[in-house]
Amino acid sequence: MRAVVISSPGGPEVLEEREVEDLPAPGEGEVLLEVAAAGVNRTDTVQRQGGYALPSGASPYPGVECSGTILALGANVPPRWAVGDQVCAVLSGGGYAERVVVPAGQLLPVPEGVSLTDAAGLAEVACTVWSTVFMTSHISPGESFLIHCGSSGIGTFAIQIAKHLGIKVFVTAGSEAKLAACKGLGADVCINYKTEDFVQRIKEETNGKGVDVILDNMGGSYLQRNLNSLAVDGRLFIIGFMGGTVTEVNLQPMLA
């Protein structure tokens, strides 16, 4: 089969399409997919740059989500799945190839009205946002929600789900064009983090109360400001460390 191989760590030019060894038959609880399209995630770019440690047993090829058609079923795959089904999937790797083997528990049906190509970029953001914010925080209509990097894949998905559920959405982004895109998806308060202090703006917009939930992919550099932006009983979800993993923090806002 053909796959995209990382020839050496570096920029996009190190990605090479090659003929590689075909995959084994799907094992217990697995399915074999014919890949239609693959999403592009930060994990893939970090792997390409040489900074991502592959999980044990993962494919060496990049691609942590894809869409495609089921070609074969391994033993004891749940009866909801059949050869010919169109699905999207979260992967441990290998999406940048003609075929990939996936545990059946990591499949989702392609939603009605979504093309097979578009579905390739659905699974990672949907599972990340839903499992962190909506399953864990129990955010409810009438509450407020701050999404950092609102124009990212995670951000644009989170905006739409939150608005669908009747939640007031705050976003940060680094340009007016990105903020306009967030506004178009339903964001209520759009903050340019390069020209505004998001903590101050949130306090102004909430009469000093703060927001109920924050979804953050910056980590260390934003931790203190996130704590300062939370309301009583607020919930902070850190899903990335673009701003570092280590910081000094004043815990007073948590105690208060």
Question: How far is CA 165 from its chain centroid?
Answer: 19
In the chain, the amino acid numbered 98 is E
Residue 194 backbone zone (phi > 0: left; psi -120 to 50: alpha; other: beta): alpha
Quick check: 114 and 122 in contact, CB under 8 A? yes
Predicted local distance difference test score (pLDDT) of residue 134: 92
Quick check: 148 and 214 in contact, CB under 8 A? yes
pLDDT at 67 over 90: yes
Mean pLDDT score, 52-75: 94
> For 194-252, what is each residue's pLDDT tens digit?
999 999 999 999 999 999 999 999 999 999 999 999 999 999 999 999 999 999 999 99
Predicted local distance difference test score (pLDDT) of residue 228: 97
For the chain, residues classed under CATH 3.40.50.720 are 129-255
Of the pLDDT bands very low, low, confident and very high (cuts 50, 70, 90), residue 254 is confident
CATH fold of 129-255 reads Rossmann fold (3.40.50)
Write the DSSP assignment of 152-199 as a string of letters: SHHHHHHHHHHHHTT-EEEEEESSHHHHHHHHHHT-SEEEETTTS-HH
For the chain, residues classed under CATH 3.90.180.10 are 2-121
Predicted local distance difference test score (pLDDT) of residue 255: 87
CATH number of 2-121: 3.90.180.10
Mean pLDDT score, 168-188: 98
Predicted local distance difference test score (pLDDT) of residue 57: 86
Predicted local distance difference test score (pLDDT) of residue 54: 87
pLDDT at 256 over 90: no
